[in-house]
C-alpha cells in the first residue's frame, strides 16, 4: 500500500516528536540522564536483614529452640550414667552446649536457604538494593543470636549435673558468636548449593548429627580417622575452648588459639556462603 503522507512531513514529525530541551541558541539538545541512587552500604543493609530475620525467628523458632535445648540436656543426662567426671565430663558439657548452636545455626539455616531457593525467595532478595554479603551475614547473625538462651541454659545445667565450676562460663560470650558464625556459614552454604530442597534438609541433618557425634563424645575415645573428621568440623574448636574453660586453671593461650581458629573458619565459611548466594541468585 502506498502512503499518502509526504516523506518530508513524516521525517519532520519523527524529528520533533518527544520532549526536547532547547539550548540558549534555540537548537535542540538531549535530556540529561537521571542520577542513580547511591548503593546501599553493607552494615546498614546487614542490620536491616538481621532485624527482619530475628523478629521472624522469635515467633517461628521458639518451639525449635526448646527442642534443641531439651535434646542437649537429655544427651547430658544419658551420658551422666557413663561419664563420672574429669576431661570426659567437660567434653560432654561443652559439646552439648555447642550442639544447640549446631541445631539452629547449621540445621535450620540450611533448611531455610534450601526452601528459599526452591520457592523463589532468592528472587525477592535479588531485587533489593543490598549487597549479597548483607543477606548472608544478616540471616546468619540472626540464627546465631537466637541460640544464646538455649546454649547458656545447657551449659549451666551441665555444670550443675557434672559438678563443673561455672567461674569461667563467660567464655560463652566468645564461643557462641564464633561457633555460630562458622556453623551458620556452613549451613547457609549447604542450603544454597544443594540442588533440591530435600537434599538441603538432609545435609543440614547430617551436619547436626556430625556435631552431635564428634562434639559430644570425648576425643580420646574416637578412632583415628574419625578424630581427623572431628578436626575438620567448624564447631570443634568452640567445643575445645569451652571445655578448657572448665579447668581450675585454664590455659588461656590455648583457649585463645582455639577461638582464633574458630574465627578463621567462620570467616571462611561465611565467604563461601556469600559466593554460594551469588551463584544461586543469578540462576
pLDDT (tens digit, 9 = 90+) per residue, 112-128? Answer: 888 888 887 777 777 77
136 in Cβ contact with 277 (< 8 Å): yes
0.85 exceeded by pTM:
no
To the nearest 10 degrees (0 to 180), the angle between helices 109-118 and 197-216 is: 170
- What is the structure's pLDDT at 49? 83
Give CA–CA dist 171/237, Å, rounded. Answer: 13
- What is the structure's pLDDT at 13? 43
- What is the structure's pLDDT at 38? 59
To the nearest 10 degrees (0 to 180), the angle between helices 172-193 and 197-216 is: 150
Mean pLDDT of 206-235: 82
Mean pLDDT of 194-216: 88
- What is the structure's pLDDT at 72? 92
pLDDT (tens digit, 9 = 90+) per residue, 147-204? Answer: 888 999 999 999 999 999 999 999 999 999 999 989 999 999 999 999 888 999 999 9
- What is the structure's pLDDT at 254? 93
204 in Cβ contact with 190 (< 8 Å): yes
Q: What are phi and psi for residue 29, nearest 5 degrees?
A: -145, 150
Sign of CA dihedral 243, 107, 211, 230: negative
- What is the structure's pLDDT at 61? 63
Mean pLDDT of 41-62: 75
* Residue burial 97-120, b: 16+ Cβ < 10 Å; e: rest: bbbbbbbbbbbbbbbbbbebbbee
Read off the pLDDT band of 11 (50, 70, 90): very low
- What is the structure's pLDDT at 261? 93
Largest pairwise CA distance in the chain: 103
From residue 233, alpha-carbon distances to 137, 168, 218 in Å are 20, 24, 14
Mean pLDDT of 121-139: 79
- What is the structure's pLDDT at 126? 72
DSSP the chain: ----S-HHHHHHHHHH-S--EE-TTS-EEPPPPPPPPPPPPHHHHHHHHHHHHHHHHHHHSHHHHHHHHHHHHHHHHHHHTT--SHHHHHHHHHHHHHHHHIIIIIIIHHHHHHHHHHTTHHHHHHHSSS-HHHHHHHHHHHHHHHTHHHHHHHHHHHHHHHT---TTGGGHHHHHHHHHHHHHHHHHHHHHH-SSHHHHHHHHHHHHHHHHHHHHS-GGGS-HHHHHHHHHSTTHHHHHHHHHTTSSS--HHHHHHHHHHHHHHHHHHHHHHHHHHHHHHT-
Q: Which residue has the higher pLDDT, 118 or 94?
A: 94
- What is the structure's pLDDT at 272? 92
Mean pLDDT of 219-237: 81
Read off the pLDDT band of 225 (50, 70, 90): confident
Q: What is the mean pLDDT of the chain?
A: 81
Mean pLDDT of 56-69: 74
Residue 9 has pLDDT above 60, yes or no: no
Distance of CA 37 to the CA centre of its chain: 29
Amino acid at each position: 500500500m502506498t502512503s499518502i503522507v509526504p516523506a518530508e512531513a513524516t521525517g519532520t514529525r519523527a524529528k520533533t516528536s518527544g520532549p526536547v530541551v532547547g539550548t540558549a541558541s534555540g537548537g535542540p539538545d538531549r535530556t540529561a540522564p537521571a542520577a542513580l541512587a547511591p548503593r546501599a552500604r553493607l552494615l546498614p543493609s546487614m542490620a536491616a536483614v538481621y532485624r527482619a530475620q530475628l523478629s521472624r525467628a522469635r515467633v517461628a523458632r521458639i518451639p525449635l529452640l526448646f527442642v534443641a535445648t531439651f535434646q542437649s540436656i537429655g544427651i547430658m543426662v544419658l551420658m551422666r550414667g557413663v561419664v563420672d567426671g574429669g576431661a570426659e565430663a567437660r567434653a560432654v558439657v561443652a559439646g552439648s552446649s555447642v550442639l544447640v548452636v549446631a541445631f539452629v545455626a547449621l540445621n535450620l539455616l540450611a533448611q531455610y536457604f534450601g526452601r528459599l531457593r526452591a520457592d523463589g525467595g532468592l528472587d525477592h532478595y535479588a531485587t533489593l538494593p543490598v549487597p549479597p554479603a548483607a543477606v548472608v551475614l544478616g540471616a546468619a547473625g540472626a540464627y546465631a543470636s537466637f541460640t544464646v538462651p538455649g546454649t547458656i541454659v545447657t551449659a549451666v545445667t551441665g555444670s550443675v549435673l557434672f559438678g563443673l565450676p561455672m567461674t569461667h562460663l563467660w567464655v560463652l560470650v566468645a564461643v557462641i558468636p564464633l561457633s555460630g558464625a562458622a556453623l551458620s556459614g556452613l549451613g547457609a552454604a549447604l542450603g544454597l548449593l544443594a540442588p533440591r530442597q530435600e537434599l538441603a534438609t538432609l545435609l543440614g541433618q547430617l551436619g547436626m548429627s556430625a556435631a552431635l557425634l564428634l562434639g559430644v563424645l570425648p576425643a580420646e575415645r574416637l578412632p583415628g580417622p574419625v578424630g581427623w573428621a572431628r578436626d575438620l568440623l567448624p564447631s570443634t574448636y568452640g567445643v575445645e575452648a569451652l571445655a578448657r574453660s572448665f579447668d581450675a586453671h585454664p590455659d588461656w593461650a590455648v583457649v585463645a588459639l582455639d577461638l582464633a581458629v574458630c574465627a578463621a573458619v567462620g570467616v571462611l565459611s561465611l565467604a563461601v556462603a556469600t559466593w554460594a548466594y551469588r551463584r544461586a541468585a543469578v540462576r
